[in-house]
Structure 1
Amino acid sequence: METARPAARRPGEVALKQAPVAADLVVEPEGDGFALELPVVQKPQVANRPGGRPKWLRAKLPYGETFRDVQKTIEEFDLHTVCSSARCPNMGECWSAGTATFMILGNVCTRGCSFCAVLTGRPEQKELDMDEPRRVAEAARLMGLQHVVVTSINRDDREDGGAPVFAETIRLVHAQGQTIEVLIPDMRGVRSALETVFEARPEVLNHNVETVPRLYRRVRPQADYQRSLDVIQLAKTEYGLRTKSGIMVGLGETQDEVVSLMADFAAHGVDVMTIGQYLQPTRHHLPVEEFVHPDVFAWYKEQGEALGIEHVESGPLVRSSYHAERHV
């Protein structure tokens, strides 16, 4: 029998490794037989039932004096963090290490993405809190941070999208000798708002695409995939900023769709990419379609970097700001 020849590649096409298959994985004894660990776990019946998640999704519980110090500082300066508002599984690890991701512009988002635990509605106060940048910078100083990460909710109720608060936060953090990553919303694509942030020159400009384009209507109904790519490209090509974006997996996307998205990232100038497992925050949010195996996350990292993305942080518990200090 003749061995099938690999398909010829088009000029300039990147040779991608195959996704992990059963034959590549370890078979371990289990009872009288063997257990084969597949790259993708079958769809869970109840995603968030205790004990229902695979072992690789066990996160550290909050603990320790440093965790309590971070919590006290956040409360003292009347600040919000995406760690608690979005129910991040890494909060215990990060806060115990003395780091946190500040969330500015309030804690009520004008968009209702079906994956996100942040409150949705109309912000009570339309005016911007221009003292918030000072409080963020002071909290970051007291926490002894070298690298600060700041994100926000969407403020579609304002033409400027809250950009002045981002810009002032960047300036005050820089004045203390710290570096900063900002994870911004798309600001409805308003160029003047985006440029207000870009001109403050954060070390890392992050804007998450969140999922593959086919799932946008279900996952991010008020967002636009191409607009998000355009935000990143503007930051890279016209301002020379270090750019970053991320997605969740386990929402029903295919591996081919993820690879295609990574090709889009490379074409639009993304320097750093994060890929993490989607976890249903409450029963009112989108269910988990699958728990993606760590081997597939490792494969995604290989594919993204082969396509030209400088660094891909990929793993079940990876979130946008996870190990952000490594992305500067």
Structure 2
Amino acid sequence: MRNDPFGQSGGQAPRRRGVGLGSLRWLILLGFLVYGGCYYFTNRTEDPYTGETVLIDGSIGPDEERAMGLQAYQEILSQERPLPKSDPTTQQVAAIAQRLIAKVPEVTAELAAEHGMAAPEHWRQFEWDVNVIPSDQANAFCLPGGKMAVYTGLIPVAQTEDAMAVVMGHEIAHALLRHGAQRMSQQKLAQIGQMAGAASGMDPQQQQMVMAAMGYGYLLPYARTHETQADEVGLMLAAAACYDPQQSIGLWERMSQSSGGEAPPEFASTHPNPGTRIQTLQSLMPKAMEYRQKFCR
């Protein structure tokens, strides 16, 4: 029998090769991509406050959000002791919060109606609380469930109750818009992408480059969108609560000055730069004044 020059006998059929390592990696990568796509498209929902389609994991309900918010709040207050509730500064900040919270039902219904949607009800289960924390930080927050804090470093930057109301309205808006749940869902999608990169055989440097591209191209712009949404909803809350929305312009000018120009460029930041923010607020001013005229009673 004649021998094949490549080592096969003349009368034998060539042996079939199994799935190679490269093919297997591509199949695994395809599986992760399909999973990521299914996760994204099956967990999208319309936000009544903005009318936009957002990503919220169906397994993260308002109850889970509130529980996580409460846990985080308790941890923060155990590490950063707030001023007593009887402190005049705390009472002043609490009074601003009460005025803003009182307008949540009307502003929520109005914004939802603008997008032809029913008003969301998740905020009705919030157990609102506000504390003032001694700190040089010019900052404030509102966690899911309505747990709020203002750092004393914000007071000299805000200067007026109107400006403070704009900041606090912005923070309340983050909780109303369920931005915490959106961020967690976004992080899960990023993790799926990271696992896909590892399964495809990318080396650590390549994975890092892909994640950096995802950060600059998707995650950071998404975070800046959250800030812009909170600016709008918060401004409407402040205006409805009889505060002057025009004070927001001076506020962000002072915020810019207080940072000393140390903020990163906008494309590398989770927040719009103050100039962009001021332009957005100026464009929203006619609407804010309408809300003030309609709901300030």
Give the TM-score, by structure 2 length.
Answer: 0.27
- Relative to its length, the structure with more helix (as a share) is 2
Larger radius of gyration: 2
TM-score by length of 1: 0.25
Higher strand share: 1
